[in-house]
Amino acid sequence: MKNREIFDGDKAAPARRSRPVQVADQIKDWVVEQGLRMGDRLPSEAELIARFAMSKGTIREAMRILEAQGLVKTRTGPGGGSFVHEVSGERARALLGNYFYFRDLTLKDIYQMRRLLEPELVASLAGTLTAEQLAELETVIASYDAPSVTVDEEREQHVASLRFHQLLAGFARNELLGFVIGFMAQILSDLTVYRHLYAPPNRELWQRGRAFQLELVEALRMGDADRARQVMADHMATAESLMEGQEALMLKRFLTP
């Protein structure tokens, strides 16, 4: 409990937090202390009222908070009740994406992180991937084996090429590293679509990006961590430069009467 308070800055000032929020945190602490896992049943409302010495209204609001956070799932009917629920990676990325929605993230912001983290990710994966995992990566690359001929096809290829990086992130042994890299690939994919950075089609971006990815898969297959790290570093530097050029072209087209 002491460690939790050290890492949770809000708990240092409980006066600023509503009672239901404080109770929701107490319930989370209790769940961890009891070693409960996803799918385990939580105590009934009456038991929670007695355990935490709070009113029915406070307990219900605390449970609504936990359900909104995705940590509790309520089922009605026979066998119903409240159960421990695990936040999915997809939901966590969506919630984090909402945080950045009104912030002016730039390509440089995203690539600053990608250039630091993705080379280390692939270096850690070299020689560890199964034949099936390598085949998954090759299948994604095969989905854009020819340059696009339309703007719609270009958009689909951009999204697919970032799916390659999300797949790599999913293979990470370090879950935090994998989550952060997968999230960056997702927000870059979203940014590419809503800023129309896929238009007009860019043959050089397709050609060089695909070549880097093919070389990377081979380095991963051969277990060459140094080569994998360097290929990804070159891939990120090239992609950043070409994407910034794409963005500049889009802005020019937008501002030209």
Tell me the per-residue pLDDT of 21-68, one tens digit each, with 9 for 90 and over. Answer: 999 999 999 998 999 888 989 999 999 999 999 999 999 999 999 988
For the chain, residues classed under CATH 1.20.120.530 are 90-255
| pLDDT single digits (tens) 112-127 | 999 999 999 999 999 9
Residue 87 pLDDT > 90, yes or no? no
Which helix (DSSP H) or strand (DSSP E) does residue 82 occupy? Answer: strand 81-84
Q: Are 228 and 219 in contact (CB under 8 A)?
A: yes
Average pLDDT over the chain reads 87
Residue 88, SS3 per DSSP? coil
Q: Sorting pLDDT into bands at 50, 70 and 90, what band is 252?
A: low
Range list of H helices, the chain: 2-7, 19-34, 45-52, 56-68, 89-100, 107-125, 131-142, 151-170, 175-194, 203-222, 225-255
Please check the confidence at residue 5 and state whether its pLDDT lies above 60.
no
Q: Is the pLDDT of residue 99 over 90?
A: no
Task: Give the pLDDT confidence score for residue 247 in this predicted structure.
Answer: 79
- Candidates 1.10.10.10, 1.10.20.60, 1.25.40.340, 3.40.50.300; correct CATH number of 2-84? 1.10.10.10
Residue partners of 30: CB distance under 8 A and separation at least 6: 51
- Token duo for residue 116: 């630091």
- pLDDT class of 251 with cuts at 50, 70, 90: low
Q: Collect all residues with Cβ–Cβ distance below 8 Å to 148 and sequence separation of at least 6.
A: 154, 156, 157, 201, 206
Q: How do strand 72-75 and strand 81-84 relate by DSSP bridges?
A: antiparallel
User: Between these two residues, 123 and 149, which has the higher pLDDT value?
Assistant: 123
Which distant-in-sequence residues (6+ apart) come within 8 Å of 104 by Cβ? none
Containing 199, the helix (H) or strand (E) segment is none
- Cα–Cα distance, 75 to 93 (Å, whole number): 25
What CA dihedral angle connects 235, 239, 240 and 242, to 10 degrees?
140
Tell me the fold of 90-255: Four Helix Bundle (Hemerythrin (Met), subunit A) (1.20.120)
Which residues are paired to 73 by β-bridges? 83
Could you tell me which residue, 191 or 253, shows the higher pLDDT? 191
Question: In angstroms, how far is CA 206 from the centroid of its own chain?
Answer: 24
What's CA 68's distance to the chain center, in Å? Answer: 19
Beta bridge partners of 72: 84
Per-residue pLDDT, averaged over 238-248, amounts to 88
Report, as an integer, the average pLDDT of 196-224. Answer: 93
Given a contact cutoff of 8 angstroms between Cβ atoms, the answer to whether 154 and 201 are in contact is yes
The CATH 1.10.10.10 portion of the chain extends over 2-84
In the prediction, which pLDDT does 147 show? 93
Per-residue pLDDT at 2: 41
Q: Is the pLDDT confidence value at 92 over 70?
A: yes
Q: How confident is the model at residue 103 (pLDDT cuts 50, 70, 90)?
A: confident
Instruction: Assess whether pLDDT exceeds 90 at residue 10.
Output: no
Would you say residue 6 has pLDDT above 60? no
Q: For residue 256, what pLDDT is reported?
A: 53
Q: Look at the block and give the residue holding tokens 């070549």.
A: 211
